[in-house]
Amino acid sequence: MIQKFAAKLLRSIPLTADTYQLDFAWASEPVPYEAGHFFLLEVEDGGDKVTRAYSISSAPSEKEFFSLCLKFLPGGRASEYLKNMEIGQEVHFQGPFGHFKLTDSKKDILMVATGTGIAPFIGMVPTLLEQGFKKKISLYFGVRFEEDLFYLAQFKTWEKKNSKFKSFVTVSRPTEKWKGLSGRVTEHLEPLDIKDCEVYICGNGDMVKTVKEMMEAKGAQKPDLHFELFTSI
């Protein structure tokens, strides 16, 4: 059920130089949502109302607060507002919205993300683990530079908790110091066998389009393909 509600900034956690996790405490009763949903943020900018959509990057089982993961865009109306928010400041939201959600499928799951497109998966993975999901969960996360990486410690924690979960992190423009995977995330998807696999894709438009077409060429059926486009605003 879509609701209008208020929340107060609880924490602002820097993840990279321009990417932050914002935790909001509910001003009243928590609003029920599903992993993968998004909220609409409403702010006043010079008398004009600005509305922006942000995926929720926390699991629905977290009742004390909800999280948003976003990249601040210099000059962006919502970005500038959020960047300058003070702890305890109240803002207004609508939601939840969205169709980028987990299904009750029992197939293996492939998740593909670039940049802040990782946000919905930060809520989806713990939800699956809490539910005792028995199939494999593979998360592919791509960024341009090493300094753009975040949530790596969280990935390792999930891997220790459940041997069925594996993360694959790749950097498209690495330095010589980088010891992990390199290249675009799409390059590492080429060898995969996606038979009996459900695919979730979230990130910039070009990546989403490329991966979607790749999965279709590999035989993925429409009901097993879920995707969402991300932008910084």
Task: Specify the CATH number of the domain 108-229.
Answer: 3.40.50.80
Alpha helices in 15-141 (DSSP H): 77-83, 119-130
Q: Band of the pLDDT at 75, cuts 50, 70, 90?
A: confident
The C-alpha angle with vertex 127 and arms to 232 and 169, in degrees rounded to 5, equals 55
Q: What is the pLDDT of residues 86-127, one digit of tens each?
A: 999 999 999 999 999 999 989 999 999 999 999 999 999 999
pLDDT score for 44: 78
Whether residue 14 is predicted with pLDDT greater than 60 in this model: the reply is yes
Give tens-digit pLDDT for 163-184. 999 999 999 999 999 999 999 9
Mean pLDDT of 134-155: 97
Strand residue runs (E) in 144-224: 165-171, 181-182, 197-203
pLDDT value at position 231? 63
What's the rounded Cα separation, in Å, for the pair 159 and 179?
Answer: 19
Given pLDDT bands bounded at 50, 70 and 90, which one contains residue 73?
Answer: confident
> Mean pLDDT in the chain?
94
Please tell me whether the overall predicted TM-score, pTM, comes out greater than 0.85 for this model: yes
Q: Are 147 and 224 in contact (CB under 8 A)?
A: no
pLDDT value for 10: 98
State the Rg of the chain over Cα: 18
What are the tokens at 148? 């753009």
φ, ψ for residue 165, nearest 5 deg: -95, 130
Confidence at residue 230, expressed as pLDDT on a 0 to 100 scale: 74
Residue boundaries of the structural domains of the chain: 3-97, 108-229
- Return the closest-CA partner of residue 151 out of 186, 174, 128, 126: 126
Q: Are domains 3-97 and 108-229 of this chain identical in fold?
A: no
Which residues, listed in sequence order, are joined to residue 39 by a DSSP beta bridge? Answer: 54
Query: Can you tell me the distance from the alpha carbon of 137 to that of 227, in angstroms, rounded to the nearest whole number?
Result: 16
Query: Does the domain made of 3-97 have the CATH classification 3.40.50.1700?
Result: no
Q: What percent of the chain has pLDDT over 90?
A: 86
Say whether pLDDT at 232 is over 60: no
Tell which residue, 30, 58, 194, 38, has the closest CA to residue 101. 38
pLDDT confidence of residue 74? 85
With a cut of 80, say whether residue 65 has pLDDT above it: yes
- Residues counted in the chain: 233
Cα 136 to Cα 22, 63, 109, 129: the distances in Å are 30, 27, 6, 11
